[in-house]
Amino acid sequence: MDNNLSEQAFNQLLLQIAGKKLIDSLNMIDSDSKSKIEKCIAITNKEYSFALSLQADCVPDSKRMIIQTQKRLDSLNALLTLAKLI
């Protein structure tokens, strides 16, 4: 597969998993897909930690936030595994 096509495919999957807001905040336009995924994982880990702290404070919306960030982390890690294999 052409490198440009595979890069576009990864960027599209990353956009679907992470969301436009997170991707726009990366400020990594010329970076490779693997670096972008790793940055998304780092940001999502921070969001997950924040959600856990909210849960400790008994914030009602924390459970939803934990579930969403965990799903995103699972998907990002799967995408990172694919990126390493390709």
DSSP 58: T
Q: What is the pLDDT of residue 64?
A: 95
| Structure confidence by residue, pLDDT tens digits, 35-83 | 889 999 999 999 999 999 999 999 999 999 999 999 999 999 999 998 8
Residue ranges in 1-86 assigned as alpha helix (H): 3-18, 20-26, 33-56, 62-85
Q: Say yes or no to pLDDT of 25 above 70.
A: yes
Q: Residues in the chain, how many?
A: 86
Q: What is the pLDDT of residue 72?
A: 97
Higher pLDDT, 69 or 85: 69
Residue 1 pLDDT level (bands cut at 50, 70, 90) = low
User: Rg of the Cα trace of the chain?
Assistant: 14
- Is this structure's pTM higher than 0.75? yes
CB contact set of 10 (below 8 Å; sequence gap of 6+) = 33, 37, 79, 82, 83
CB 14 within 8 Å of CB 40: yes
